[in-house]
């Protein structure tokens, strides 16, 4: 399904849709993220010029994750677009030295034979789609290091103790 014969990409391009199964996605995304009921979907639009294939892809779907501050579960919406170019390995050898790629920002894969593989591309991109230390919200207060209380639900006793003793010391100094 995700192995595409380059000759089958017509002048009008080729659209490929694929549901990324939960058990395919989960080993890639690590323990902090996990799948929910919905699978992540991949959509690819392929165009080619000769044997150079340009892939415009988009990953969409719903995942869940454990907040890196408060350890609560939160929803994460995947919506990640990318562009990738596949260049025939034989064409690389015949390339004029010094010739500059059209766009240096583009990710390029050199391929052999007459097929391009979209599955490794989807695997690579889903990792890039996810933040390294996701938070349930920008202002997440995390958990108290002493008592483990989720501080988003309100202050804990030990935090207020610390504040109180500081105030007490401040008052002593002033006096
Ligand atoms: Zn949080
Ligand atoms: Zn506490």
DSSP 126-153: HHHTS-SS--SSTT---B-TTT--BGGG
pLDDT digits (tens, 9 = 90+) for 78-124: 999 999 999 998 877 665 555 445 556 678 999 999 999 999 999 99
CA of 70 to the centre of ligand 2 (A): 13
Residue 41 CB neighbours (<10 A): 14
CA of 19 to the centre of ligand 1 (A): 29
CA of 161 to the centre of ligand 2 (A): 9
pLDDT digits (tens, 9 = 90+) for 126-140: 999 999 999 999 999
171 token code pair: 């008052």
Q: Which is it for strands 33-35 and 52-66: parallel, antiparallel or unpaired?
A: antiparallel
Ligand nearest to the CA of 70: 1
CA of 132 to the centre of ligand 1 (A): 14
Distances (CA, A) of 173 to 159, 161, 167, 170: 22, 19, 10, 5
The reported pLDDT for the residue numbered 54 is 96
Ligand nearest to the CA of 161: 2
Q: Is the pLDDT of residue 34 over 90?
A: no
The answer to whether the predicted template modeling score (pTM) of the entire model surpasses 0.85 is no
Rounded to the nearest 5 degrees, what angle is found at the Cα of 139, between the Cα atoms of 137 and 141?
A: 105
Residue 161 CB neighbours (<10 A): 11
| Radius of gyration in angstroms for the set of CA atoms belonging to the chain, rounded to a whole number | 25
Q: Which is it for strands 3-5 and 33-35: parallel, antiparallel or unpaired?
A: unpaired
Q: Is the pLDDT of residue 30 over 90?
A: no
Residue 92 CB neighbours (<10 A): 11
């Amino acid at each position: 399904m995700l192995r595409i014969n380059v000759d089958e990409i017509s002048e009008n391009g080729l659209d490929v849709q694929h549901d990324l199964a939960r058990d395919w996605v989960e080993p890639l995304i690590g323990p902090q993220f996990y799948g929910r009921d919905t699978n992540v979907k991949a959509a690819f639009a392929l165009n080619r010029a000769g044997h150079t294939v340009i892939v415009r892809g988009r990953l969409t779907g719903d995942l869940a994750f454990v907040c890196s501050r408060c350890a609560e579960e939160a929803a994460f919406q995947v919506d990640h677009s990318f562009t990738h170019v596949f260049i025939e390995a034989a064409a690389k050898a015949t390339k004029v030295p010094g010739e500059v790629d059209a766009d240096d920002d583009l990710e390029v894969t050199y391929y052999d034979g007459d097929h391009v593989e979209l599955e490794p591309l989807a695997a690579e991109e889903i990792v890039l789609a996810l933040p390294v230390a996701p938070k349930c919200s920008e202002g997440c207060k995390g958990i108290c290091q002493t008592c483990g209380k989720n501080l988003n639900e309100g202050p804990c006793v030990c935090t207020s103790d610390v504040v109180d003793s500081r105030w007490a010391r401040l008052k002593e100094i002033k006096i």
